[in-house]
Amino acid sequence: MEETLTLQEIQLAGLALLKQFDAFCRRNALRYSLCAGTLLGAVREGGFIPWDDDVDVFMPRADFEKLQSLLDAGEDAFPAGTLYLNGLREGLSFAHGKLCDTRLRAPTPYLDEPGADYLGIDVFPVDGLPAGLGAQKRHYRRVNALRFLLALTAARRGSGKTRFKALFKGVLRALARIIGAKRLAARIDAICRRYEMETSPLAAPVSSSIDGLNETVPPDDFDGLIQLRFEDALLPAIPDYDRYLTDMYGNYRQPPPPGERKSHFIRVVREKPDA
């Protein structure tokens, strides 16, 4: 039997994972910041955007790799019931990290990825960008093309909003699977690593960018992190959050009208023992 969680229950589960991630990072001196809608929620709402249902953080590549090294060494692991997945290393459909609650599944109609379809918080590595707008756009185009193919490796057969899209996806899905998820993920990783954050003019979560060049930060933003209230916790945030949020959302202080409020609308279920 399955129990479908309410939006509030999804948010509480995401908050619990975020607190676990924060405790791990503090114990191990790892830098990270709230980002995207989670950072917007912290600044404007003091917590979750009321209609939002996910949690996003980003961290410098060096810290992202140190996190993985600590887990590989078996040191200071996350609590039981949680699982950290690194899509870049494991060849999953996403090119970032994800801390999951293994008791809660978030299946989608478009992806078939057993063992990775858990509710989780997204952990995006931040890499550098090349100098010059043209070079930056070309950099994103390369990565985004590979990300598209990577996602298709886990696409559910016959899925698509229209019959044509389902057929088109089926052809590309076959091509993506021939290449292989691990090869695609490794290629994305290699391209993103070309530009070190510390020596680049700008930095961004290139491997899993939400909003492309509107999501950049100065490389030194992670050296002066501040604390913002998020629900009942104080969590790290980049100090220049106003520029970052303005680039992403425009007048972010003003909530959008009800008809324009975007949510992921994920369905999360908890397995219940049979009575």
DSSP per residue, 47-73: S--TT----EEEEEHHHHHHHHHHHHT
Query: In the structure, what pLDDT confidence band is assigned to residue 165 with cuts at 50, 70 and 90?
Result: low
Written as six digits, the tokens of 180 are 């292989």
φ and ψ at residue 190, rounded to 5 degrees: -65, -40
Q: In the predicted model, is pLDDT for residue 147 greater than 50? A: yes
Mean of pLDDT over the chain: 90
Give the length of the chain.
275
pTM, full prediction: 0.91
Average pLDDT of 2-26? 94
Q: What whole-number distance in Å separates Cα of residue 151 and Cα of residue 40?
A: 27
The pLDDT, as a whole number, for residue 164 is: 45
What the block records as the tokens of 87 is 């899509």
How far apart are alpha carbons 221 and 240 in whole angstroms? 7
Looking at residue 41, its pLDDT comes to 97
